[in-house]
Structure 1
Amino acid sequence: MNFLCSYFAICLTLLVTLGYVYVKRKYSYWQRHKIGFIEPKFPFGNLRVIRRTEHLSQRLARFYIERKHDAPMLGIYFMLSPILLITDLELIRHIFIKDFQYFRNRGIFYNEKHDPLSAHLFNVDYEKWRPLRSKLTPTFTSGKMKFMFGTIVAVADEFVACLNRSIQIDSEMEVNEWLGRFTTDVIGTCAFGIECNSLKDPQAKFREMGRKVFDQPKLNTFERMLIMSCKSLAKLLRICTHHKDVTDFFLNIVNETIEYRENNNVQRNDFMSLLIELKNAKNDTDRLTINEIAAQAFVFFLAGFETTSTTLTYCLYELALDKHKHIQDKARQEIVTVLDKHNGNLTYEAINEMTYIDQIINETLRKHPPASNLARMATSNYKLPNSNYTVPEGMMVIIPVYGIHHDPEIYENPEKFDPNRFTPEQIQQRPSCTFLPFGEGPRNCIGLRFGMLQARIGLVKLLQNFEFSTCTRTQIPIKYSPKKLVLSPENGVWLKITGVKN
């Protein structure tokens, strides 16, 4: 018995020693390559995934601000994996644009076979992304936006009517939830041709599914770490990133919508019509399967409702602050002036003339970017310009969008909300890759036009009809949820809303 105990103790000591040496070796990667780095802590490295007290973007912004003058890049670790944090604008331009062929993938986990909704345009690797992007691009032309304009305005009018009824009961309300219901109805109509009715019914199925994706993540901590650090094993284990009922709901909705439209010869100028055309394409290479259609409709729904509603939430918060009342008043005056020129009608041409509204939205996206970090994966070895270091194939690089947007050397007094940063003159003076809410280069956000149009219409309709101010429940300064991927307010945003006297 003593012999067995001694043998076990020796084996355990040996395993612990080998493990220690292995971890030390892993954590010496940046030191061995003579790259400046942030000292990691086992087991999460520099990027903790549980019990975080701040949003990941804020931590990376600190790394960026503190070390950006040391070198154009900074070594960090996720668990035992080395990751490169890019701190130089010119190098960012190389990665996004000039040397895009070396960084064509986002490196995000997806499992097309067992989790079909995950295989959408945002996630998939280059070989699948390139033909898919070219097929979907016609949906987001300015001509298509003009066709969808009236539909979005109709939903916005319903939004105004619902808010008017609600403020008669209580003028203080949490605006993030209301805005989520507005954008859900817009996307449901434009993408699926379906009346979601979440403005009238907060428990509507589309809204419930949207909440579930963002507020009730399916993956536990171990699974999240696995899909980030060992994608091949995660696929082997058939890990799915979406709840089964969410997958079933969207697959069923897509099937039913396609069947109804084809059986009744329904033609609409929306996203689903293009996807149906691709399903029935004569050329095999152009054809999309039902699962592929569902995945694209799904990401359009998620990106369209969450990022736009979050942006509008932050926008109303900033305009409601006492120190920004003059900005809200100026925006409302621009709306009145432009609409007077168009006989009081909110037209596509009218909204494109509202330049100050655009500046407000852009400044909101600068200060509170929903996509606060961007990632790319090296698809082949890449020698960094003016450096002896070669980024190996498969390594992740991160661009700290929040950090860049809050860099005082780029945006003076970055915590100040100032729409004048986005006058044409100010934009022209700044280097490229200093404003990245939609990414940059070939893999930028395909829905940029649609997202901006939805935000413009929503903001114009709200300011035209309501005045926003803070109340006792408004959290000042606003705090971000450390748990969510998208930069979201931790406790929502409570504001006082009163009708505007016309």
Structure 2
Amino acid sequence: MFAVILAAVAAVLAAAAYLFLQRRYSTWKRKGVPGPPASFLSLSVPKVWLGQESMGDVTDRIYQEYRDCPVAGTYMFGNPLLHLHDPEIIKQVLIKEFQDFSGRGVSTIGKDADPLASHLFFLGGTAWKNLRVKLAPTFTSGKIKYMFETIRQSSYQLSDYLDERIAAGGGAHCEDARPLMMRLFVDTISSVAFGIESNVVKNPQSEFYTAAKKAVEPSVSNALRSLLAMFGREIQQVFQVRSTNRETTKFFTEVVRESIEYRENKKIDRPDMLNLLIQLKNRGFVDADKADKDSTATRQEPAGNSIKLTTNDIAAQVFVFFIAGFESSSGSTSFTLYELAKQPKLLERVHQEVDQVLADHDGKITYEAIMSMPYLEMCINETLRMYAPLPFISREAMVTRKVPLTELTVEKGTRLLIPVRALHYDPVYWPDPYKYDPERHTPDKKATRPTAAYLPFGDGPRICIAGRLGMVQVKTALVRLLSKYTVSVGDNEPDKVPINPRSFATTPDIPLNVTFRPRRPADGIQKRHQSVASG
């Protein structure tokens, strides 16, 4: 009798689960939204879970299959996902109707269990808004100038390393540019963020480099953590899956706590990010920049819900700044070097611009000098088109409402995906999209396409807060390297760089081998100085 009852209960539960999933997986069909056939194992989901395919690959494929549809619907972990394909809809969601789509749809298991997750990238709603207002003054042009000398010094340490390797190699040195630039930017950001000289360029065994690599290394576990945080809230909560592993959490929280205690005890005031965050911790605001037109900082503490940062809050912000900064900056720099190395004519034009601008600044790499190189910036922008740091960005509906410019109503909590990489390779906006062509980014060319066709850092109020700092880091590194060296690649490099499917960010699946050689005097800045002096 008991067995019969148990079987009946099991049958009822199974039927209820089936009906629940059937209704969940018919969401888009009932709303008339196009998309692939829906089931629990649809859309090659097992490949995504196993790291054989990235979520960026999925958004690319949906875009290609439903290119002519303004929106398309899919599912992940049973949750409906709405893909936005029309640039005008994307613009509305990111900018004009931002208040109703301000979340990223990212979930965490709480500040106590996962302290490094309470950072700006993950937060939504009022918590995000309050923190964004507090952090924005730390990334003005005045604050970046405040940190510039630290950034410049790191680039010189890299060239010292390359000089040694070139001398040992008889006049040339070949190295995978990706890990080399990762080491550079771990050095740069550990100094800018913590005031700690990690010396990773020459010492890859550094704790900072080990911790940073572990946090972002392409792996099934890291990919699954990211997927659950963005699309699997229920599973994440049940199994208490942290956004970062325990070792990484312990390392960064301890480094931040010890650094804060040391500075406060020794009364140390250093031009770096941690100093600005300590101001937020102790006062709730940062000092205003003098004569900085971009600054929104004031010396008055904002009224209302002004909350000072805790040590764990600081650790979370430093962590995401550290990881995102070294990951995206190293990618942008290494991909730019690699693409220029494949096209000597473009490289020569960059060399000429770097030489001329540095000659105009007495041979010194200054903030003003690197901001006066439009062609180099066009090259970086083209790199960001072809190798956007993230292949897609997400938003969350904060209220139940119609999607802008459509009659489709989405419920509060629905995730919206913007296929950045797919947009960046759409031949309608980018003819011959697999060609590396910096000329796409002239003012005239920009005016011919929708602004939402180019989103390397997102757009609107949630645009990457440190994007400007990242560009300064990348430019400084490239100017130092290209003022001293010429770069080349071998004859067997592929036309298209494969991307690692186990990485949430855009990471190459092959080495980006670049050969560095000293530039001939006739090509270098010494010759330029002579001609300027004689003229």
TM-score (norm 2): 0.87
Matched, 1:26 2:47: no
Q: 1:49 aligns to what SS in structure 2? A: helix
Contact 2:106–2:231 (CA under 8 A) maintained in structure 1:
no
> What is the Cα deviation at residue 471 of structure 1?
2.3
Contact 1:410–1:430 (CA under 8 A) maintained in structure 2:
yes
Partner of 2:161: 162
Q: 1:466 aligns with which of 485, 491, 506?
A: 485
Q: 1:280 aligns to what SS in structure 2? A: helix
Matched, 1:153 2:117: no
1:467 maps to amino acid: T
- Count of residues in correspondence between the two structures: 497
TM-score (norm 1): 0.92
For the residues of structure 1 that align with 2:6 and 2:509, how far apart are their CA atoms?
49
Partner of 1:270: 272
> What is the Cα deviation at residue 86 of structure 1?
0.1
Q: Which moved more, 1:169-178 or 1:206-215?
A: 169-178
What value does the CA root-mean-square deviation take over the aligned residues?
2.4
Contact 1:43–1:80 (CA under 8 A) maintained in structure 2:
no
Q: 2:243 aligns with which of 241, 244, 249?
A: 241
Contact 2:48–2:54 (CA under 8 A) maintained in structure 1:
no
Call closer, same or farther: CA 1:177–1:22 in 2, change over 3 Å. Answer: same
Call closer, same or farther: CA 1:206–1:18 in 2, change over 3 Å. Answer: same
Deviations 1:134-167 (A, max 9, x none): 1111111111111222211111011011012123
Partner of 2:36: 38
How many percent identity over aligned positions?
35
For the residues of structure 2 that align with 1:122 and 1:275, how far apart are their CA atoms?
17
1:151 maps to amino acid: T
For the residues of structure 2 that align with 1:143 and 1:221, how far apart are their CA atoms?
36
Partner of 1:203: 205
Contact 1:383–1:391 (CA under 8 A) maintained in structure 2:
yes
Partner of 2:524: none
Q: 1:429 aligns to what SS in structure 2? A: coil
Q: 1:159 aligns to what SS in structure 2? A: helix
Deviations 1:258-294 (A, max 9, x none): 1121122111222111111111117782411110011
Contact 2:484–2:519 (CA under 8 A) maintained in structure 1:
yes
For 1:344-363, list aligned pairs within 5 A: 344-363=363-382
Q: Which moved more, 1:389-398 or 1:264-273?
A: 264-273
Q: 2:189 aligns with which of 184, 187, 194?
A: 187
Partner of 1:409: 428
Q: 1:319 aligns with which of 340, 345, 352?
A: 340
Partner of 1:231: 233
Partner of 1:376: 395
Contact 1:44–1:80 (CA under 8 A) maintained in structure 2:
no
Q: 1:285 aligns to what SS in structure 2? A: coil
For the residues of structure 1 that align with 2:120 and 2:234, how far apart are their CA atoms?
20
1:353 maps to amino acid: S
1:432 maps to amino acid: T
Q: 1:90 aligns with which of 88, 91, 96?
A: 88
> What is the Cα deviation at residue 65 of structure 1?
3.1
Contact 1:219–1:241 (CA under 8 A) maintained in structure 2:
no
2:185 maps to amino acid: T
1:379 maps to amino acid: M
Partner of 1:287: 308
Q: 1:303 aligns with which of 294, 317, 324?
A: 324
Matched, 1:137 2:156: no
For the residues of structure 1 that align with 2:190 and 2:375, how far apart are their CA atoms?
29
Contact 2:50–2:220 (CA under 8 A) maintained in structure 1:
no
Call closer, same or farther: CA 1:473–1:8 in 2, change over 3 Å. Answer: farther
Q: Which moved more, 1:254-263 or 1:394-403?
A: 254-263
Call closer, same or farther: CA 1:22–1:461 in 2, change over 3 Å. Answer: same
1:132 maps to amino acid: L
Contact 1:39–1:46 (CA under 8 A) maintained in structure 2:
no
Q: Which moved more, 1:476-485 or 1:373-382?
A: 476-485
Contact 1:118–1:241 (CA under 8 A) maintained in structure 2:
yes
For the residues of structure 2 that align with 1:92 and 1:375, how far apart are their CA atoms?
11
Contact 2:186–2:326 (CA under 8 A) maintained in structure 1:
yes
2:501 maps to amino acid: P
1:190 maps to amino acid: V
Contact 1:475–1:493 (CA under 8 A) maintained in structure 2:
no
Structure 1 runs not aligned, ≥5 long: none
Call closer, same or farther: CA 1:6–1:408 in 2, change over 3 Å. Answer: same
Matched, 1:426 2:425: no
For the residues of structure 2 that align with 1:233 and 1:50, how far apart are their CA atoms?
13
For the residues of structure 1 that align with 2:224 and 2:390, how far apart are their CA atoms?
24
Structure 2 runs not aligned, ≥5 long: 285-300, 522-535
Partner of 2:101: 103
Contact 2:25–2:39 (CA under 8 A) maintained in structure 1:
no
1:91 maps to amino acid: I
For 1:452-491, list aligned pairs within 5 A: 452-471=471-490, 474-491=493-510
2:30 maps to amino acid: R
Call closer, same or farther: CA 1:65–1:237 in 2, change over 3 Å. Answer: closer
